Structure 1
Amino acid sequence: MIAHSLNPIHQPPKTLTQPLKPKAFKPQTIKCKPATIITSKLRAAVIGGGPAGSSAAEALAAGGIETYIFERSPEAAKPCGGAIPLCMLDEFSIPSHLIDRKVTQMKIISPSNLTVDFGKTFKHHEFISMVRREVLDNFLRLRAEDRGATLIKALVTNIELPISEKSPYIIHYISNNTHSSLAVDVIIGADGANSKVAKSIEAGHYTCAIAYQERIKLPEDKMKYYENLAEIYLGNDVSPDLYGWVFPKCDHVGVGTGTICSRQNIKQFQDAIRNRVKPKIHGGKIIKVEAHPIPEHPRPTRVRGRVALVGDAAGYVTKCSGEGIYFAAKSGRMCGEAIVRASENGEKMIGEADLRREYLRKWDNEYFSTFKFLDILQRIFYGSNAAREALVELCGDEYVQRMTFESFLYKRLAKGNPLLDVKMAMDTIGSLIRCNIVGKEMVQMDEFHKRML
């Protein structure tokens, strides 16, 4: 039996729910479960209802675990480019009606406005799906509920840590103007870059970029141009260390940019990307403005006790592309399934060692190389306009394009032709030499590439 006892941490002996003392709102009294809860099943809470949290909750509930998913604003959506890879559609059973646009053309534009068609190697069945996060997130949350998870629309205010190996975590939250508490055995933090769960377990800090995006509704003729086309813009004007973008959605485009080192100037960079695409979006109307922090590397600690971090809370966003949706959903599912395995479908208590073995080790074994490789590429090619010109020049090569999209669409480091790999490496070095950019990062990439062959 798995027991949750609140008495050792001085909770009232007969209630888990108390009215909040009147300050900002009128207190309410609600009925609740008694303080001492005896249950034969593991009880799990997922904090955050985006792709990471919803996928975790679905896996937990499907595995027979009593699951609660906390989401403060189900109707809101994180600012996001909204691109998801082809493999995610099948792997996560994403229905086609959720896809706004199927991108089969992509252009990458250098600081000097050299434009390369970066979609020449798409096969007839291949495309990049563009979705709106509010649509995708809602679908995934509803599916988690259908599997048995309980959605709690609430703001989590505090998490009390257990006083022993098997005593519960206590989640304090505000829902419908009422202060409530819930005792659980295990917590998955899927609450984004500013994760309250990460703070509660002292998971450490990480560097964050800031992403800024305007949704712009275009006239019909302008929208026709972006029907199945996405654009990436490089240059110090739009971002000193990342890139700007134009991504098509159902009836509008997302125009945005991001930066790590110069976040205070993000609106200046947004003005620049809007100016770069001005002729193409002329007559458009801004219908929404969004901004959000984006993690740049994994947190120092991703598992502590019976708490695990997933998605942005863990820092699972790739360099170069800034992609996070797939890795959020994947990490959430992997973590949920890990808890189901370790607890034998909720029949036994788990510990930190179980989470590290079943979740963290499997994640790192599968994705560490991908994240490391893209980190090296970003440091090489995003540091100056000269390097960005070299990158766009390389992107004109069809073999480079094929390798890039193999990796993106199917989420694996593509295995190429050894002779063509050598040629690609030499072309890369040649482009960088012409741009006077050869340094330790290039040596690191070469060594990494040799290990992967």
Structure 2
Amino acid sequence: MQCGTRATSVKVGSASATKKVAGSRKAVVMCPGLYQGNHQRVSVSSRGGVLSSWASGGRREVGVRAVIQDGAKLDRPLRVAIIGGGPAGACAAEECAKNGCETYMIERKMDNCKPCGGAIPLCMIDEFDLPPEIIDRQVNRMKMISPSNREVDIGSTLKPNEYIGMTRREVLDDYLRQRAEKYGTNVINGLFMGMEQKEGEKGPWTLSINNYGEGATSKGDKAREKMELEVDVVVGADGATSRVAKIIDAGDYDYAIAYQERIRIDQERMKFYENLAEMYVGDDVSPDFYGWVFPKYDHVGVGTGTVINKPAIKQYQDAIRDRAGDKITGGKIIKIEAHPIPEHPRPKRIEGRVALVGDAAGYVTKCSGEGIYFAAKSGRMCGEAIAQRSNQGQRMIGERDLRVYLNKWDRKYWPTYKVLDILQKVFYRSNAAREAFVEMCQSEYVQRMTFDSYLYKTVVPGNPINDIKLLFGTIASILRANALRVTNGPSVTFGERKEA
């Protein structure tokens, strides 16, 4: 062994692996029984020694359990665990890893295909440096389709270089995870089971993980090996049903059920959707949301969602297929996806040395149901706060430090969430209101305001005169739609609406 190096053994059940450490450089250890495939692996950082003992049910040999006060200087890097490997988790991990923190990201399913429209704003592509191959389609035309099937084309105000990016989540998420790993994140393919602070609120968090190791069958089953991981800070990026949120008693929120079918249609029909997305509104496709047909690489995503009548979600899905009609006729369903989507931020998003980001925090907008950008942005902002407040991983941080991220987030995005919440309450409450909403979308002023706000993630200040005209026009549209509803009979609906 060369001068200045040392060997460290890491126990994993009955398996062991040896790594060489030179100075403060990081060595990647391929541990037998811990991984398989390209992304199922564990990287063990050498900075400050071995973080944990991964023995089945056992305690680690060399303890680091110690009560460390907030702000104290560390003799090893700050240890951060990110639970979840979606856009929120991957972006948080990237920021922590490239700024001196010893970072671990736990993701249970590396090929996850979330039921998601997959639309991302133009600003995200530049801001997160996404390569062209991540974008399946560049959508610069949209159709808003009312309950009476009145169509309004949207997109005339877009500049030639402006578009909405359409992605597949399994492609986007994998890219962001791999990039985080390149910056030094230790990726663990496993299921997060729980965590506890054995030394009190200023002590480390001990995470319990079912690691997916060797032994996968042809059906995709995976052998599980229990492991423990001790860290200083935990970031919960584990989705709407977050276990991290439950552990810190973050409170409940309303959630929608999103349901999507990936449908492969013939080339001629696919050409129709080359740069076009459709949004359908009406009680038939959703009592409180909208249905969509979004183009992907070689198929379309057709889906809907609801908060107030979850048991009827498949009926709403049948309705959106019927509304799309001949445009998707003869298509083959290649995948069906369903998942809960939060409706508003949780009552608590920070507790001690634990922070929530993305869906776990409830960062999905009402009215539009957008969450990808806000997930990635919240993860990055949280990671930046951890890195900055810990002085690049050199000192311990606490709740006050994590609240730097939260306060910055609320100042920047609270107006966006509030405006979209109001829009949903006004325009998604009846078919008459939805007809008025679609009619309102004909206005170039509305289109320009909407796209500018969406593409660049800012609440764009309006022109007072045009705003007054818009207000009176909207009231007139609602009155006309209500009159038509009385004349033509009740709104189209089915099933019994139930509260979430």
Note whether the superposition's TM-score is higher than 0.5: yes
Deviates more, 1:421-430 or 1:204-213: 421-430
The structure with the greater share of residues assigned to helix is 1
Q: What residue number does 2:337 align with? A: 290
Aligned-residue offset at 1:37: 6.5
1:60 maps to which of 87, 90, 96: 96
Between the aligned partners of 2:124 and 2:400, the Cα distance in structure 1 is 29
Asked whether the equivalents of residues 153 and 442 of structure 2 are also in contact (C-alpha less than 8 Å), the reply is yes
Asked whether the equivalents of residues 166 and 349 of structure 1 are also in contact (C-alpha less than 8 Å), the reply is no
Give the SS at the match of 1:80: coil
Q: What residue number does 1:85 align with? A: 121
Aligned-residue offset at 1:41: 1.2
2:162 maps to which of 106, 117, 126: 126
Aligned-residue offset at 1:395: 0.3
Q: What residue number does 1:182 align with? A: 229
Asked whether the equivalents of residues 65 and 203 of structure 2 are also in contact (C-alpha less than 8 Å), the reply is no
Asked whether the equivalents of residues 203 and 301 of structure 1 are also in contact (C-alpha less than 8 Å), the reply is yes
2:409 maps to which of 352, 363, 370: 363
C-alpha spacing 1:235/1:15, structure 2 compared with 1 (3 Å) = closer
Q: Map 1:67-82 onto structure 2 (within 5 A).
A: 67-82=103-118
Q: What residue number does 1:440 align with? A: none
Q: What residue number does 1:224 align with? A: 271
Question: Quick check: 1:327 aligned with 2:374?
Answer: yes
Asked whether the equivalents of residues 215 and 286 of structure 1 are also in contact (C-alpha less than 8 Å), the reply is yes
Between the aligned partners of 1:242 and 1:51, the Cα distance in structure 2 is 24
CA RMSD in angstroms comes to 1.7
Deviates more, 1:189-198 or 1:275-284: 275-284
C-alpha spacing 1:32/1:138, structure 2 compared with 1 (3 Å) = farther
Letter in 2 for 1:94: L
Q: Map 1:30-429 onto structure 2 (within 5 A).
A: 34-36=62-64, 39-175=75-211, 176=213, 177-356=224-403, 358-429=404-475
Letter in 2 for 1:392: V
C-alpha spacing 1:35/1:393, structure 2 compared with 1 (3 Å) = same
Between the aligned partners of 1:384 and 1:15, the Cα distance in structure 2 is 56
Asked whether the equivalents of residues 198 and 313 of structure 1 are also in contact (C-alpha less than 8 Å), the reply is yes
Between the aligned partners of 1:32 and 1:254, the Cα distance in structure 2 is 47
Q: Percent of pairs identical after alignment?
A: 60
Give the SS at the match of 1:180: strand
Between the aligned partners of 1:382 and 1:258, the Cα distance in structure 2 is 13
Aligned-residue offset at 1:436: 4.7
Give the SS at the match of 2:113: coil
Between the aligned partners of 1:249 and 1:104, the Cα distance in structure 2 is 14
The two structures have a TM-score, normalised by structure 1, of 0.89
Aligned-residue offset at 1:94: 0.5
TM-superposition CA deviations, 1:192-220 (whole Å, max 9, x none): 00001001101010000000000000111
Between the aligned partners of 2:452 and 2:147, the Cα distance in structure 1 is 26
Q: What residue number does 2:53 align with? A: 16
Aligned-residue offset at 1:435: 3.7
**Which segments of 5 or more consecutive residues in structure 2 lack a partner in the other structure?**
1-50, 67-74, 214-223, 484-500
TM-superposition CA deviations, 1:308-349 (whole Å, max 9, x none): 000000000001110000000000000000011111111111
Count of residues in correspondence between the two structures: 414
Q: What residue number does 1:450 align with? A: none
The two structures have a TM-score, normalised by structure 2, of 0.81
TM-superposition CA deviations, 1:228-257 (whole Å, max 9, x none): 100000010000000000000000000000
Q: Which runs of 4+ in 1 moved over 6 A?
A: none
TM-superposition CA deviations, 1:19-78 (whole Å, max 9, x none): 26xxxxxxxx9x976333695211000000000000000000111100000000111221
Aligned-residue offset at 1:430: 2.2
Letter in 1 for 2:427: F
Q: Which structure's CA Rg is the greater one? A: 2
**Which segments of 5 or more consecutive residues in structure 1 lack a partner in the other structure?**
1-13, 21-28, 438-453
Give the SS at the match of 1:277: helix
Letter in 1 for 2:335: K
Between the aligned partners of 2:165 and 2:147, the Cα distance in structure 1 is 27
Give the SS at the match of 1:377: helix
